[in-house]
Amino acid sequence: MSLLDHLNEAVHAGQPVALCTVVNTTGSVPRHAGAKMLVFPDGRFEGTVGGGETEKLAHQEALGAIKDGRTRFLKYNLINVEKGDPGLCGGTVTIFVEPFLSAPTVVVIGGGHVGRAVVHLASWLGYRVVLSDDRVELCTPEAVPEADEYLPIPIEEVPGRVTIGPQTFFVLVTRGVEVDLMGLPPLFETSAPYIGLIGSKRRWAHCQEKLLEAGIPQEQIDRVHSPIGLEINAETPDEIAVSIMAEITAIRNEGKRHFRKA
């Protein structure tokens, strides 16, 4: 299987990867423009961009690109041992690192009125949507037809069943604090960029108190967006869904600094 076949397979499977391509060289170098290396989240790789320290550094940058979703231009001087290859080839090499991430995904936990509205709006906005609820009758294509995947499992098992990357957004619209307290600790062990939790400020204060009593560090608790969504005085499930997806869109587009909650 060729390197590009591996890339195509990963993209279709929704597995994030990063492609490193030599785009320019000068002088004596081990690999020339067009050389490629594909890096997987677990550190595996296919292909080569020259080996040695240069490839090691490119590999590290590729793993970083998978985590943050940002492209990189890397330029290494192979005369400088610290910046390039200890083999001292004598040239320079420029490498472009391009992450291929899974589609932006909204994981909706809770198949009630608000959950169904979020699934509908997120799907309409082009997100891949995963719906989970341990109440099986609320987590089916018949009940909520617009989700891409259905996980009728306990909330604490959801993180282990979802590929989590820099564009995975968790929306907890559950039936109560008891469920939230089971679901949040496993989410804190992930790198999810967004964990939103529905409920009043009073409900969230009670939930925080219980999490602290359970030994969850405050810095982890501070990752939770609650009350969920931008403050637009939303009342109906559809309006709440708009508020939630507006907040997710702002974060995804790095525009959240322009918005403030009341």
The count of domains in the chain is 2
Residue 81 pLDDT:
46
CA dist., res. 103 & res. 4, Å (int): 19
What per-residue confidence (pLDDT) applies to 80? Answer: 53
Judgement on whether residues 123 and 235 belong to the same structural domain of the protein:
yes
* Contacts of the segment 152-159: beta carbons below 8 A, 24+ positions apart: 154/182, 155/109, 155/179, 155/182, 155/183, 156/182, 156/183, 156/185, 156/186, 157/186, 158/107, 158/109, 158/132, 158/183, 158/186, 159/186, 159/187, 159/189, 159/190, 159/192
Question: Average pLDDT for consecutive 10-residue bins of the chain (262 residues)?
Answer: 91 86 88 93 93 91 90 83 51 93 91 98 96 97 96 96 89 95 96 94 95 96 96 95 96 60 43
Residue 78 confidence (pLDDT): 76
Residue range(s) defining the domain that contains residue 231: 105-258
One domain, residues 83 and 112: no
Could you write out the DSSP letters of every residue in 106-147?
EEEE--SHHHHHHHHHHHHTT-EEEEE-SSGGGSSTTTSTT-
Match 């719906």 to its residue by tokens: 131
- Asked if 63 and 129 sit in the same domain, the reply is no
Of 49, 83, 100, the residue at which a domain comes to its end is 100
Residue 45: CB atoms within 10 A of its CB come to 21
My answer on whether 127 and 188 are in the same domain is: yes
Q: Are residues 77 and 121 in the same domain?
A: no
